[in-house]
Amino acid sequence: MEVEDCRKGTKVLLDNTPYNIEDAEFMKPGKGRAIYRFRFRNLMDGSSLERTYHSGEKLQEANITTREGQFLYREAGHFVFMHTDTFEQYLINETQLGNKQFYLKEGMIVTTLFLSDRPLDITLPIFIEGTVTKSDIATRTDTVTAQMKRATLETGLEIDVPVFIKEGDTLKIDTRTGSYVERVVTKK
pLDDT digits (tens, 9 = 90+) for 88-144: 999 988 887 878 888 999 999 999 988 888 888 888 999 999 899 988 877 666 566
What is the per-residue pLDDT for 10? 86
Per-residue pLDDT reduced to its tens digit, 20-47: 888 888 888 888 888 999 999 888 777 8
* Spatial separation of the C-alpha atoms in residues 167 and 136, rounded to whole Å: 9
Per-residue pLDDT, 147: 81
d(C-alpha 12, C-alpha 40), whole Å: 9
Alpha-helix residue ranges (DSSP H) falling in the chain: 94-97
Quote the pLDDT of residue 115. 85
Assigned architecture for domain 64-123: Beta Barrel (2.40)
The domain ranges of the chain are 3-61, 64-123, 127-184
Rounded Cα gap, residues 177 and 102, in angstroms: 13
Q: Band of the pLDDT at 188, cuts 50, 70, 90?
A: low
- The CA distance from 126 to 145, in Å, is 27
The answer to whether domain 3-61 and domain 64-123 are alike in fold is no
| The pLDDT value given to residue 187 | 64
**Per-residue pLDDT for 163 more than 80?**
yes
Span 3-61: which CATH code? 2.30.30.30
What value does the mean pLDDT of the chain take?
A: 87
Would you call 3 helix, strand, or coil by DSSP?
Answer: helix
Burial letters 77-101, b for 16+ CB under 10 A, else e: eebebebeeeeeebebeeebbeebb
Q: Which CATH class is domain 127-184?
A: mainly beta
Q: Which residue has the higher pLDDT, 50 or 43?
A: 50
- Indicate if the pLDDT at residue 82 is higher than 90: yes
Three-state DSSP at 4 gives helix
Asked whether residue 70 carries a pLDDT value surpassing 90, the answer given is yes
